[in-house]
Structures are given as C-alpha cells and as structure tokens.
C-alpha cells in the first residue's frame, strides 16, 4: 500500500518535473509571426448578399450538389459576412496578431468584369480590415482563393488566357482599395489544387476531368497571371504601399520507397512543387527539366502535334522568374514516391514515371489525403531552402482534419509535432518567418463539405446563429501565443 502510494506521488510530482527538464525549450524566434487563416468561399456565406455575383463555386455546388460529400454549399457557411466582428474578437482573444483571408472576386465585380464595381462588396473588406487593425491584428490578403465569377468560368476559366487580364484587373482594384492598409498579399492560393483537381480532375470546380491536359494549360495561365500582378504591384504600388507580395504553393514531402532511392523523391518534388515553384523561384526559371523531358516524350509517343506541357518564350521565362518577395508554403502531409519502370518506346506512367503511396503506419486524419508525418514538414522546409535559396518562407497553411470534436487532442498532437519540426528546421538555417494555422474556425471544406473540420474553433452549422465554440486546440494556441513557446501535449490530454 505504502509502496503504491509513493509510486503514485512520484508519478504525480516528479514526473512533470522530469518531463519538463527533458523537454527542450521550444521557443519561437522574436520576430516570428504566428497567425490563423480562412478563405472567402469557405467562411463568408452571404452568397447573394448586397448584389454579389454568382461565382464558380456557387454554380458548382448549386448545380452539381452530388460533387460535395454532404451535398452542402457555401451559401451561408460560417456567415462570416455578417459575423466578421465575432471572428476578429476570437482571433484577438486567442492571441493571434496575423490573419490570412481572401477576397471574393464576384463580391467586388458582380458582373465578372471591372466595368461594374460593388461599393458594398468593397465596404465589407474595408470593415473587416479596419476591425482587424483596430484590434492589433495584421491583415494578410489572399487575392484569389479558388472562387471567381461564373461568367469567367463559362468562358473557359483558367484555361482561357484572357483570365490573365481579368485577374490583373481584379488585383489592381484590390491593391488600390486595400493596399494602403494591407502589407501582406498573396496572389493565388494553391494553383495545383484547382488546376489538377478542377480542370484535370473532378474534385474541385469546374470538374472538367481533362487529365494531363487542361491542368497544364491552367497552370501556364496562373503563372502568367501571378507574374503580371506582381509586376503591377512593383511598378504601380510598391513605392507608396511598401508591402510584400508572393504566391501560396502546396508542397508535400516525398520519401523514397527505401533509403537508397533518392532519385524518385527528387523527381516527385519537381512534379509536385517544382511545377509551380521552379518558374518563379529557381535561378533559371521555366518548368523543371524533368517535366519538360518526360511530358514532351509522352506527347510525342501519343501522337500529339506538340507537347501537352505548354512552352514559355524566353521573355516569359524572365518575366515570371523572381516574382515573389517570399515563398508561401501550404504543407499538410507527405507521401512515398515509387518509381514505375518505363519500357522502351512506351510512355512514362502518368507523365511522371512514379506513383505515390503512404506508409500504413502513419496516423490518419478525417481527410483521406492527410496523414500525420511531422518529419516531412522539416524535410520540405530544408528541401525548399536547398533548392531555391534563402528567400523568406511563410508557412501560409498547416492543419489537421477531424469530424469536429471539441476535445481535439489529435489536432494538438499534430500541431505540436509539426511546429517542433519547423523550429528544428529554423535551427538548421531555414529562413521561416511566418506560420499560419489552418483554420481559425471550422468551414466549408470543398468536396468534403462540412464533414471534415479543420478549425481550432468549432462552428455549429445546424444553428442559424452559427455558434462558435473553442476546441481544446484553441486553448492550446492561446497558451502558446501567450508564452511564445511550444507547450507539451500532455498538459492538455486530461480534462483540464
């Protein structure tokens, strides 16, 4: 009995002290910014409020509801269009001083074109930005987070090169209106997600499913549009507004099937990340050589008159290269890249020559594509640094999906593991300056509707008032932001 009691006391009192001593002090660097994010279509709702025009996601969810897991849409979403003050109060209370959100294109250009501008639409973002600033929260504006006027989609969307000018018109208005108050801009969020998912596949609007064809055309236009907006900012706004502008790219980490295979992970990195990053961040610009070679070869064998991967002129290569003040990285998960042997005269598997799989031992999340692999985060930060140099990296998204539990310990574990790897990478010399958690509140998770939740704050989508409730991870973040230290998960695993 006495022995059991002393063991109990030892565990209760000595345990935490021992643990605290064994755990390193994971503090965040002084000038390091920590924020949270959302995106217009995923949170705003108010889909036809104050004259907003129809966008591609309104059309897609209304006309093809079976494309969304729970047949839902963003008509009301979190109702942030009306409840933005509450969102800002939540950000402030948790202690974030950085908020990344996006602008709804069709709320500002209801007809899709710049000849008609919605004053109310613009006012909404002024109000949001003012509310943030007066609460000491720095706004970070994503100009385009996947929603564009439906009329532009009818005209071919991102596969039509005219989108480049439409996007420039929209960006100009965003800089003119909000640039005096906003110092952080991202042009376009995760191009490969909507190019491959939407034009190449069926997961995202417009679900064209033109695999290995339209997605390359989409990316070609996206890169041109991004570069044009960057140059415009440089020439017309930078001297007076003095902000930072970049692009947000989703890059996974690829492991080899065995430790000896370093070649396939490298090829996978080029197809996954380099497709978007190489033209902008590499010294030479243009698409990665391996993509050029393999897609050109495949196109020839398949009898295409020219490569399915479009070509940039040398002038365009120069125009696109170097168009970013930071590398915006969205990172959630990792894969294993497995090479597929190419028989002589036959095509490269999937234009790539590898397929991707996962380690069954990796912990899962509610999203089938998201496995928990913290070491992959450190690896991708080091890989990007090695490949593109020391330009600041802003982690613009990172987060974990479950089904909405308030006791979201798995989310805390995820954040702890990933943030720790990031701090190690910073120690290793990676120039990471910003970290933004996805997401501040549960929201419309595209094809997964409201089934999969990424928020650190729960939203009740059955409640007309869209009640917000803190999850345990919000409490964890609150403590982290106060101490500016990574706090051990075990303090949160009990019911405290």
318 is catalytic: no
Asked if 98 touches ligand NOJ (CB under 6 A), the answer is: no
By the 8 A CB rule, do 434 and 395 touch?
Answer: yes
Asked if 39 touches ligand NOJ (CB under 6 A), the answer is: yes
By the 8 A CB rule, do 367 and 422 touch?
Answer: no
Asked if 272 touches ligand NOJ (CB under 6 A), the answer is: no
Q: How far is Cα 386 from Cα 384, in angstroms, rounded to an integer?
A: 5
Asked if 55 touches ligand NOJ (CB under 6 A), the answer is: no
**Of 380, 445, 471, 492, which one interacts with ligand NOJ (CB under 6 A)?**
445
For the segment 303-362, give every residue that binds ligand NOJ (CB under 6 A). 330
User: Which string of x and - marks every residue 161-200 that binds ligand NOJ (by CB under 6 A)?
Assistant: ----------------------------xx----------
What's the closest the beta carbon of residue 92 comes to ligand NOJ, in angstroms? Answer: 23
Asked if 477 touches ligand NOJ (CB under 6 A), the answer is: no
Active-site residue (options: 131, 153, 190, 215): 190
Q: How far is Cα 293 from Cα 352, in angstroms, rounded to an integer?
A: 10
CB closer to ligand NOJ, 79 vs 445? 445
Residue whose entry in the numeric block shows the structure tokens 């480049």: 164
CB closer to ligand NOJ, 230 vs 438? 438
CA angle (324, 328, 333) in 5-degree steps: 150
What's the closest the beta carbon of residue 96 comes to ligand NOJ, in angstroms? Answer: 18
CB closer to ligand NOJ, 39 vs 437? 39
* Phi, psi angle pair for 246, to nearest 5°: -155, -160
Q: Cis link prior to 439 (omega < 30° from 0)? A: yes
Dihedral sign of CA atoms 104, 110, 112, 117 in order: negative
What's the closest the beta carbon of residue 368 comes to ligand NOJ, in angstroms? Answer: 11
Asked if 60 touches ligand NOJ (CB under 6 A), the answer is: no
Residues making up the chain, counted from first to last = 496
What's the closest the beta carbon of residue 51 comes to ligand NOJ, in angstroms? Answer: 25
User: Which string of x and - marks every residue 378-417 that binds ligand NOJ (by CB under 6 A)?
Assistant: -------------------x--------------------
Active-site residue (options: 397, 410, 421, 445): 397
Query: Helix, strand or coil for residue 397?
Result: strand
Asked if 459 touches ligand NOJ (CB under 6 A), the answer is: no
Which residues make Cβ contacts (< 8 Å) with residue 407, sequence separation at least 6?
Answer: 471, 472
Asked if 438 touches ligand NOJ (CB under 6 A), the answer is: yes
Burial class (CB within 10 angstroms; exposed 0-12, middle 13-18, buried 19+) of 405: middle
Start-end of H helices in 322-372:
none
Please count the CA atoms within 13 angstroms of the CA of 100 that sit on its side-chain side.
30
397 is catalytic: yes
Residue 344 Cα to chain centre, angstroms? 39
Catalytic positions, please?
Answer: 190, 397
In the complex, the residues that contact ligand NOJ under the rule CB under 6 A are: 39, 42, 189-190, 330, 397, 438, 445, 454
């Amino acid at each position: 009995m006495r022995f059991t009691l002393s063991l109990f006391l030892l565990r209760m009192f000595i345990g935490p002290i021992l643990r605290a001593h064994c755990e390193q002090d994971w503090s965040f660097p002084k000038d390091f910014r920590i924020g949270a994010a959302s995106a217009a279509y995923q949170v705003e709702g108010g889909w036809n409020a104050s004259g907003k025009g129809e966008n591609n996601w309104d059309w897609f969810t209304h006309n093809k509801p079976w494309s969304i897991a729970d047949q839902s849409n963003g008509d009301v979403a979190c109702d942030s269009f009306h409840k933005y003050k509450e969102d800002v109060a939540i950000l402030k209370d948790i202690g974030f001083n950085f908020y990344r959100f996006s602008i709804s294109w069709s709320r500002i250009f209801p007809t899709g074109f710049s000849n008609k501008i919605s004053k109310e639409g613009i006012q909404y973002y002024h109000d949001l930005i003012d509310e943030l600033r007066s609460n000491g929260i720095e706004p970070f504006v994503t100009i385009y987070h996947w929603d564009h006027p439906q009329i532009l989609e009818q005209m071919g969307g991102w596969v039509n090169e005219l989108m480049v000018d439409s996007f420039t018109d929209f960006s100009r208005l965003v800089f003119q209106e909000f640039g005096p108050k906003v110092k952080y801009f991202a042009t376009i969020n995760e191009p490969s997600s909507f190019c491959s998912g939407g034009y190449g596949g069926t997961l995202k609007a417009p679900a064209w499913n033109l695999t290995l064809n339209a997605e390359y055309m989409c990316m070609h236009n996206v890169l041109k549009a991004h570069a044009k907006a960057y140059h415009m900012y440089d020439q017309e706004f930078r001297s007076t507004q003095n902000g930072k502008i970049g692009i947000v790219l989703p890059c996974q980490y690829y492991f080899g099937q065995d430790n000896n295979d370093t070649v396939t992970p490298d090829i996978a990195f080029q197809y996954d990340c380099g497709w978007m990053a190489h033209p902008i961040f590499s010294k030479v610009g243009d698409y990665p050589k391996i993509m050029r070679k393999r897609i050109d070869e495949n196109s020839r064998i398949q009898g295409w008159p020219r490569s399915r991967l479009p070509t940039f002129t040398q002038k365009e290569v120069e125009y696109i290269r170097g168009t970013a003040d930071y590398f915006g990285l969205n990172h959630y998960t990792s894969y294993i890249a497995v090479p597929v042997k190419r028989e002589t005269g036959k095509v490269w598997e999937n234009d790539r020559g590898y397929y991707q799989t996962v380690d069954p031992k990796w912990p899962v999340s509610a999203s089938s594509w998201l496995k928990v692999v913290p070491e992959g985060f450190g690896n991708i930060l080091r890989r990007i640094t090695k490949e593109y140099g020391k330009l600041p990296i802003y982690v613009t998204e990172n987060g974990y999906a479950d089904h909405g539990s308030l006791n979201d310990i798995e989310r805390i574990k995820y954040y702890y593991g990933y943030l720790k790897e990031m701090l190690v990478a910073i120690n290793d010399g990676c120039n990471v300056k910003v970290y933004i958690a996805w997401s501040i509140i549960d929201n419309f998770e595209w094809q997964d509707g409201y089934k999969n939740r990424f928020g650190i704050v729960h939203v009740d989508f059955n409640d007309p008032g869209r009640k917000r409730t803190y999850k345990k991870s919000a409490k964890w973040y609150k403590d982290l932001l106060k101490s500016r230290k990574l706090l051990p998960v075990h303090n949160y695993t009990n019911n405290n």
